[in-house]
Amino acid sequence: MAAAEKRTGAQIVLAVIERSDSYPELPWKAFALGAAVAGLSVFVKAMLWPGWNSGSEVMLSAASVLAAGVTCALLCVCAPGFARLFLDANRASAEVCQYASALFLSREMFATRGRTGILLLVSLFERHVVILPDTGLRQRLSQDALQTIIARMTTALKKGEISRALEDGLDSLEEVLAGTATEASGENELPDEIIEEKGE
């Protein structure tokens, strides 16, 4: 990290967040899907094999619909991969960006001498990356360059290779900034430790 900061003239902070929001709507979406599928199967069965149904069979059908919904909701809580199926991409992107902005401010990453702080944040549940540069670096980092770095990190992140994603991010950032590096102050103004938080 220190070597990369020296070559780029930037104060780099890495952060790994478990999830940027609790997304309370996801279990409900899963419940609705499970109940709907089970209800459809009950309806199809009734259409294919019509006839009189006893009270116990009706109760059993209702219970199976509820059980399917509850099972899907529990899976959504316990299995992040299943929960991601119900996650809206735009909502996830907005939540991760908001978390990154709040972290940038709360950790006072703006308080560097040349406003050269930059946050590389990885949110694991969303599999989303945010790169947030301070004002002293924005002219040196085009949107195309940022998107290229993010794409490279996301590729490793989707494979579950968190360390590789961070390394790729640092390497790519160094490649972009090294060519336009200004003289660094030599002072390590922001901590080098990776920030790890559970998030919301």
Q: What string of DSSP letters covers 48-93?
A: HS-S---HHHHHHHHHHHHHHHHHHHHHHHH-HHHHGGG--HHHHH
d(CA 31, CA 76): 9
Same domain, 57 and 127: no
What residues make up the domain containing 71?
25-86
The pTM of the full predicted model, rounded to 2 decimals, is 0.86
pLDDT digits (tens, 9 = 90+) for 55-94: 677 688 889 899 999 999 999 999 999 999 999 999 999 9
Higher-confidence position of 136 and 185: 136
The model's confidence at residue 19, banded by pLDDT at 50, 70 and 90, is: very high
User: By three-state DSSP, how is residue 27 classified?
Assistant: helix
| Lowest mean pLDDT segment, chosen from 3-12, 52-61, 125-134 | 52-61
Higher-confidence position of 103 and 7: 103
Higher-confidence position of 44 and 103: 103
What is the domain-level CATH number for residue 190?
3.10.310.50
d(CA 133, CA 116): 7
Residue 129 is predicted with a pLDDT of 97
Same domain, 10 and 38: no
Longest CA–CA separation in the chain, Å: 85
> Which of 86, 116, 137 represents a domain boundary (last residue)?
86
Residue 164 has pLDDT above 90, yes or no: yes
Of the candidates 67, 76, 95, 70, the residue with the CA atom closest to the CA atom of residue 26: 76
Same domain, 104 and 187: yes
